[in-house]
Amino acid sequence: MPVQIGKGGTWATEYAGPYAGLNTQTPENLIPDNASPSFNNFMLRNAELRSRPNLFIPFGTITPIVNPQLGITTFVDVNGTYHTVIWAGQNLYQFRNPILPISHWVLVGQAAPGDMKTNPVSYRAFANAIWYTDKAALVGANNAPIINPFVGTWNGLTAAPQFTQVQFDASVTQSVAGIALTDSPTVGGSLPGAPTVVGPLAIGGLYLGELNNQLILANVSVLDQSSGVIYSFPNLIWWSANGLPFEWDPVHNTSAGFNPFLDVPDLITGLATLGIAGYIFRTNGITQFSPTGSAILPFQFNHMWASDHGIGNVLPFSIAQYGPTCCFIAGDNIYKLSVTSAQDIGGTSRDAIFADLAAATAAPFANIAPIFQNGFVYLSYILLIPLAGFVRMYLYSFDDKNWSPWDLNMVANPPNPTLTCAPNVV
């Protein structure tokens, strides 16, 4: 932008929007005037440059929950009541506005067969209840705490969550996704490697989704309760029967079943459903699946690519979805996935983001927020990266198509903060 020289030799430069935000891809002497290589702690909205709000508070300062929070979400029950819940330790807590100056978070009840430590919970609202799972082992973690895999649920009405189920033959599975003692040898023999199991079998996974009126688990573990052996199947997805979220037994109901994806060389790192199709993210690829209309084979699968190298999701909890838009981080860029295409959005901020990802002290997390508060619409992909002593947050504005980083002073002991779930920022 040209310099304007006034009377008396005074001069001024006027910078006008729309602003391009962070730019670390271009040599500094060639960066446009509406961008900056050291842009930080500003908000870009509607072609304006604004100071950022101080919205983020560590959960530990607003809750009495001493365990790491493993997931936070809101669902509505059959009576139309909204419930905001948090998982921590082995319990589920609910947010309530108190009359007395006491904790806003109250214990609902035990939600898991053991302490889930720092393993994030994957959850999905379905049939006016919240369903959740924990495989209890982070992808790539060498010393992840292990508990038995399970799926649990809470409908907002009962006194406590449910994470066990009495099966048709009166055997009890330590997961609401389970296989009865009677059918366990048959189902176990159909799994990859055909393990010999006695049962009952308890099923859990790293990711949980829904399509075609069926719950879907991805990157699955199966516990043989008779022997205590846990079988891990990182490329397997398992779905419930159509309209029957408590039924996961393909012998008992043919619309339930699983697919082991023996033909892919990597492992599943996420799951998203967009409209009439679902997307299974792998380290080096993406698999699209859609309903067939058949109860026996309810889904058809199409590997967009199944190579040793390719665009996939390399960070398990970088996947975030809002309506028809989904974002994820691949090895070469950050992508926005729609029903019809994938578009890279890293832009001129890609190198800065990837440098911080390489320096991360703990697992990054992401989500997509439509608003920051009522009346303040700011649809953004929010990526939180723990670094030495603070968390750097990158916001991608879908409207303005730019990135702005914020540095968050998160109190932590030890000083390197660790995120255990993506915070709910709305």
Check whether 175 has a pLDDT greater than 50.
yes
Return the pLDDT at 372: 74
Q: Name the pLDDT band for 411 (thresholds 50, 70, 90).
A: low
Alpha carbons within 13 angstroms on the beta-carbon side of residue 112 total 28
Show the tokens assigned to 424: 């709910």
Which is more confidently placed, 405 or 409?
Answer: 405
**For residues 145 and 39, which has the higher predicted lDDT (pLDDT)?**
39
Which pLDDT score is estimated for 15?
58
pLDDT at residue 236 in the model: 94
Per-residue pLDDT, 7 = 63
Averaged pLDDT, 90-100: 78
CB burial string 159-184: b at 16+ within 10 A, e below: eebbbebebeeebebbbbbbbbbbbb
Residue 3: the pLDDT is: 52
Which two three-digit tokens encode residue 161?
A: 């969550």
> What does the alpha-carbon distance between residue 370 and residue 364 come to, in Å, rounded to a whole number?
20
Q: How confident is the model at residue 26 (pLDDT cuts 50, 70, 90)?
A: confident
pLDDT number for residue 177: 97
d(CA 276, CA 292) in angstroms, rounded, equals 11
**Residue-level pLDDT at 139:** 47
If you average pLDDT over every residue of the chain, what do you get? 84
Q: What is the pLDDT of residues 185-239, one digit of tens each?
A: 999 999 999 999 998 999 999 999 999 999 999 999 999 999 999 999 999 999 9
**Whether pLDDT at 423 is above 70:** no
**SS3 sequence of the chain:** CCCEECHHHCEECCCCCCCCEECCCCCHHHCCCCEECCCCCEEEECCEEEECCCCCCCHHHCCCCCCCEEEEEEEECCCCCEEEEEEECCEEEEECCCCCCCCCEEEEEECCCCCCCCCCCEEEEECCEEEEEECCCCCCCCCCCCCCCEEEEECCCCCCCECCEECCCCCEECCCCEECCCCHHHHHHHCCCCCCCCCCEEEEEEEEEEECCEEEEEEEEEEECCCCEEEEEEEEEEECECCECCCCCCCCCCCCEEECCCCCCCCEEEEEEECCEEEEEECCCEEEEEECCCCCCCEEEEECCCCCCCCCCCCCCCCEEECCEEEEECCCCEEEECCCCEEECCHHHHHHHHHHHHCCCCCCEEEEEEEEECCEEEEEEEEEEEECCEEEEEEEECCCCEEEEEEECCCCCCCCCCCCCCCCCC
Q: Which of 263-267, 309-313, 349-353, 365-369 has the highest mean pLDDT?
A: 349-353
* Total Cβ atoms within 10 A of residue 66: 8
Phi and psi based region of residue 227 (left: phi greater than 0; alpha: psi -120 to 50; beta: remaining): alpha
Instruction: Identify the sign of the CA torsion 375, 420, 233, 197.
Output: negative
Query: What percentage of residues in the chain have a pLDDT greater than 70?
Result: 85
| Contact status, residue 326 vs residue 320, Cβ threshold 8 Å | yes
- The answer to whether 273 and 296 have CB atoms below 8 angstroms apart is no
| Residue 59: predicted pLDDT | 41
Let me know: does 5 contact 13? Beta carbons within 8 Å: no
pLDDT category at 58 given cuts 50, 70, 90 is very low
Task: List, in sequence order, every residue forming a beta bridge with 126; answer none if it has no partner.
Answer: 129
pLDDT at 1 (0 to 100): 46
Domains and CATH numbers, the chain: 57-355 (2.130.10)
CA atoms within 13 A of residue 76's CA, in its CB half-sphere: 4
Mean pLDDT calculated for residue range 401-424: 74
Per-residue pLDDT for 57 more than 80?
no
- Using one digit for the tens of pLDDT, what is the confidence trace for 292-332? 888 888 888 887 766 677 778 888 888 998 888 899 999 89
Q: What six digits make up the tokens of 42?
A: 């500003």
Residue 93 and residue 32 in contact, taking contact as beta carbons nearer than 8 Å: no
pLDDT at 140: 47
- Which residue has better confidence, 124 or 8? 124
In angstroms, the CA 327 to CA 322 distance is 9
Percentage of the chain modeled with pLDDT above 90? 46
Taking CA 282 as the corner, what is the angle to CA 277 and CA 286, rounded to the nearest 5 degrees?
40
The residues, any chain, with a CB within 8 Å of residue 143's CB and separated by 6 or more, are none
Instruction: Please give the residue that has the higher pLDDT: either 82 or 313.
Output: 82
- The answer, yes or no, to whether residue 260 has pLDDT greater than 80, is yes
In contact, 11 and 339? CB cutoff 8 Å: no
Q: Let me know the angle formed at the C-alpha of 125 by 364 and 57, rounded to the nearest 5 degrees.
A: 40
Whether pLDDT at 41 is above 50:
yes
- pLDDT tens-place string over residues 118-155: 888 999 999 999 999 987 555 444 555 567 899 999 99
Q: Tokens 């009890």 identify what position? A: 172
**What's the rounded mean pLDDT across residues 245-252?**
95
